[in-house]
Structure 1
């Protein structure tokens, strides 16, 4: 039987790395599926550089496909959905996603990810990486602990980008509601959260070290889109699920490297968040009672690993009560303060120490959310994605030269 495997590369303006990622994908496909039909799909939306040309000029053994869409109103999710559509049209048995900006992509990733989703039942493979201690902030402080609290399953890196799914999973995605944010950076958590909501098999696949362009300059936009998609899936869930009986696997996600973010970018972000909190102070305090007693810090607010689980519980309660956009947007501001505090907390800690701190934070988040006895009453999220409260505060930080 001829098996069809698709590797999709969602991209916008990634001319420097897209060729190397495509070559790694091609080598991995040849190793894992030497006799099958292999396709590498570049899905790009409005690239203004040579991303498409670099991909077209890269020699591959696999068939090459380019799926393009306009840049306005689109994002990473637009590209992922284009890859899914191509895979369905091709009758793919496996689909893998590789981020276009990763500089550490290895051919062996293809076989590992594809093997993890073998079988007839819907399955999703997510990556498990070692990363710079100053990265993976949205993963560590938002996506991973909130998914554990809502669905009772600890997924170390649920928005890592390098995903795989089988044909059965592809077919199920046709029926899931797609909020606007899922067409943006909300796509990864949309895939993982829906898989958990439907009790699918989610497999964590160790992929070693991840090196890519830092998303920190997007910290005022990316988390808002991630939270929007996550909260939409939360509201389609019948109830908050108790933690799984299995003891969560201890994470090993922090790499030995420690490359701080650029001070100019940090200063820009901190100033924007301070202006936001000053403008929305009363509503933040009303919606997040746990934030009322937070101590001041040089960057704004001191939000410790003991404070943060209760802040996240406030957010879940607010979403369940129908304050979707306010909970989402105010949480972003508090999250940035959590990140700044976290960086101070981990000063001098080893990688395993940091992993234990993050595991403790996730466990405490599950406890805090379930102590509230939150009931999902059928509230719905907004039909359109709007930056809402962040309008005028969320200009992207300049990327260091």
Structure 2
């Protein structure tokens, strides 16, 4: 493969990933020497407050590429802190291309590196995002929040907008330096912040098929991660010139659901359901007022039955609420409804073939586009979200305790 770039950097954002960071670094190193065997290759570990042997494991892993470690404190930081540190180091190194690999991925292959690097080897500001096959019980924030909302607001269907494995050329990195960074972009909001801003500025976004992704299940973070993702996404939405959904068309061929299906730990699911139940009992009146589409959702064993047909109107309620100045309430209440959507979805897909699950998700995205378009929501005004991130409504509900009655 021709070496067209002078410096290529692979960045690994990590905190307490000693068990997998060495293998990820080795895959990155092997891939770099496939992508640009005669170039300058660098693998950067950015870690924040690791309490295990993450740094030592990385340092002891033999690589042909140059190794760099960037460390920061743990308090008040997150994945985005590490990504921004990697971006800064890549620019300092005069990198032509930067790739990101999640530190906990167990299915990473050297071939990912040339595939991602080639996708951004152009002069236009470009970001490459992954297209994976995923366990049908994972990728929930992607499937039910990030992907349909991006399609509805920006008119572009991105299957894995928060997939973790990204690539950027230098033109993109320099453009991204000018984008406002809310606190949530320093946390788990970083991936959607990158993708949404690229769509907002109509930059080139390329999807790169990478096959199967196996990593640590994010489900235990389901009350924290989507809140941070929504916070960053809503900040970008408010800076957008308007809803661009007309012209949206679902992809002709989608194969995002993997044949392997591993259910989530029932004990973790039960604790999450209990927390959401208590949240909805405490905030039911405000949820009903802000999300009228949720008022008619019937009860279910896990709380509320939020179906494929009901969910798009709930997402449209959320966009309308953000545009109307109810940023934090829309963000937080949507998380509670989202958990019920996920548990309903798991029931809906029981017995479906992989392709049928893909079709259901595409239908959900298309219905969300229509629901948001039909609201005629106005964006692009002077309204902004709070830069400081606060868990706000979820402060008393992130730990499970006995659930009460669920009503909305």
Structure 2 length-normalised TM: 0.96
Q: Distance in 1 between matches of 2:143 and 2:219?
A: 14
1:112 aligns with 2:110: no
1:380 aligns with 2:372: no
2:404 counterpart residue number: none
Q: Distance in 1 between matches of 2:159 and 2:251?
A: 10
Q: Distance in 1 between matches of 2:357 and 2:231?
A: 27
The alpha-carbon deviation at position 244 of structure 1 amounts to: 3.4
Change (3 A) 1:3 1:300: same
Deviates more, 1:233-242 or 1:341-350: 233-242
1:34 aligns with 2:37: yes
Q: Distance in 2 between matches of 1:117 and 1:323?
A: 37
Structure 1 gaps of 5+ residues are none
1:63 aligns with 2:60: no
1:160 counterpart residue number: 163
The alpha-carbon deviation at position 379 of structure 1 amounts to: 1.5
CA contact (8 A) 2:157 2:248 kept: no
Q: Secondary structure at the match of 2:43?
A: strand
Structure 2 gaps of 5+ residues are 402-408
Q: Secondary structure at the match of 1:64?
A: strand
The alpha-carbon deviation at position 245 of structure 1 amounts to: 5.7
Q: Distance in 1 between matches of 2:400 and 2:292?
A: 29
Structure 1 length-normalised TM: 0.98
1:177 aligns with 2:190: no
1:305 counterpart residue number: 308
Aligned 1:66-215 pairs, distance under 5 A: 66-215=69-218
Change (3 A) 1:201 1:396: farther
1:11 counterpart residue number: 14
> Matched residue pairs, number?
397
Q: Distance in 2 between matches of 1:160 and 1:262?
A: 22
1:283 aligns with 2:258: no
Please list the CA deviations of residues 144-201 of structure 1 after superposition, one character each: whole Å capped at 9, or x if unmatched: 0000000000000000000000000000011000000000000000000000000011
1:340 counterpart residue number: 343
CA contact (8 A) 1:28 1:109 kept: yes
1:264 aligns with 2:267: yes
Change (3 A) 1:250 1:309: farther
CA contact (8 A) 2:297 2:305 kept: yes
Q: Distance in 2 between matches of 1:168 and 1:396?
A: 45
